[in-house]
Amino acid sequence: MRENTLKRRLAAGETVFGSWLSLPDAVAAEAMAVLGWDWLLVDMEHGPAALTEAAAMLAALRTTEVTTIVRPAWNASSAIQPALDLGFAGMVVPVVNTADDARKVVSDARFPPLGERSRGGVRTNLAFRTDAMTYFERANDEILLLVQIETAEAVENLEAILAVEGVDGIFLGPNDLAASTGKRWPDAWSDEAYLALIRRVIETTSRARKFAGFLARDPAMAKQVVDLGYRFVGISGDVNFMTAAAKRALDEARAAIG
């Protein structure tokens, strides 16, 4: 069975870098994958990718060495189980504010005895290069399961969330956390009270001996959060990279022509 080397690297203390895929296109996903990212996340919450498009993107990503992650549209069985059945190696689940929310994630994303995920489908076997029963027996260990911490309520309940068996760690959503605390983004990054929450999250997660992720706007912010202890680090996303490069080229052309 294909092993989740990313999960093993995290367990060994490594820092891994990834990015967001919001464009619902297999070629765009593959173009990002060959750049050398450790992981790439197909965003089905705020991105427009439907299940069939996510399946095509995953098939393209599987031709490379990148580890495939998905964010389902919601913390719901109808979103979590179909996304996992495509064969993704990891999942970041939104809308987790309490330990009960985290237990719901585990129930939907883990097979018995940890959860109640249903067996079935064929794409998981293809993605993990194995048979159905081997996937069932090993998926709980191989799939990286992170829950999003993106509200003040979630930060308050973080210790209880991390104590839920089956949750490998958390992924901090800096934009929504800023909104939850009444702050603008990215202005919040210079606000000491907000930064105290960022430090509190990593300190609590580290004490629980679990993984912590963060979506940084740029490499400079990525360096800051890695210095704090975040090790599953995202840097921007495909749309931002495309538009920034296009805008720079346009501006340079106009400046050169005068």
Question: Please, what are the domains in the chain?
Answer: 5-257 (3.20.20.60)
| Per-residue confidence band for 142, with pLDDT thresholds at 50, 70 and 90 | very high
> Which tokens belong to 47?
């991105």
Summarize pLDDT for 186-225 with one digit per residue, the tens.
999 999 999 999 999 999 999 999 999 999 999 999 999 9
Q: Looking only at Cα atoms, what is the longest distance across the chain?
A: 67
Are 178 and 219 in contact, with CB atoms under 8 Å apart?
Answer: no
Residue among 68, 66, 65 at smallest CA distance from 54: 68
The model's pTM is 0.97
Residue among 86, 83, 128, 126 at smallest CA distance from 108: 83
Clarify whether 197 is annotated catalytic: no
Summarize pLDDT for 48-100 with one digit per residue, the tens.
999 999 999 999 999 999 999 999 999 999 999 999 999 999 999 999 999 99
SS3 category, 140? helix
Determine which one of 27, 35, 36, 46 is catalytic: 46
pLDDT of the residue at 258: 83
